[in-house]
Amino acid sequence: MKRADSIIVIDPEEFIRDLLGEYFGRLGYQVFPVADIPTALGLITSRAIPVALVDLGISPGRGMASIGQLVQVRPDLQVVVLTGCPTLDSVIGAFRSGVFDLVIKPFRLEDLRGIVERAMTRAREQAVKADLRRRVEDLEDILRRHGLTPPANERHFAEPHEAVREASE
């Protein structure tokens, strides 16, 4: 685990916040327990927290909409949904909205730990991909600014080919 790995726990129940805070804190994670969505939005906007554990009951009747708000401000956030009252609609809705996983309460902490570790791995992989995409875009920008993008740069490749062809004739 990287030292900077952090988790936000968004759950209306203080007991769950304390339990998960203590458990993941002992595992070396930096844990941010919060009881409402506005506080969570503030935190994920200002800090590079890769994983969120979110209870669907955080906004009664609007749990998925709240998760949508989190993902809207941080599309890279890996969301693990916790729910004590799962319904088919909520489960289907969760994975249609692209959450990383869904855990039905009561759960074993060991199982949740495995899921969080996999979510962290996914977050790291996505960060690497995003970084590579940015670098490619930067390079393309440099090429554009120096007039080296096709068709402008085609002569650099075509001229040597022409020379070889002429020499071989």
The residue ranges that bind other proteins (CB under 8 A) are 86-88, 91-92, 94-96, 101-102, 104
* Minimal distance, residue 78 CB to other proteins, in Å: 13
Pairing of strands 30-34, 78-83: unpaired
Q: How far is the CB of 152 from other proteins (least distance, A)?
A: 27
Rounded Cα–Cα distance for residues 81 and 121 (Å): 17
How many CB atoms sit inside 10 A of residue 71's CB?
A: 18
Closer CB to other proteins, residue 55 or residue 101? 101
Cβ neighbors of 105 (< 8 A, separation 6 or more) are 82, 83, 84
**Least CB distance from residue 87 to other proteins, whole Å?**
8
Cβ closer to other proteins: 35 or 117?
A: 117
Residue 39 or 76: which CB sits closer to other proteins? 76
Q: Which is nearer to other proteins, 111 or 140 (CB)?
A: 111
**Distance in Å, CB of 103 to other proteins, minimum:** 9
One-letter amino acid of 120 = M
- How far apart, in whole angstroms, are the C-alpha atoms of residue 149 and residue 135? 16
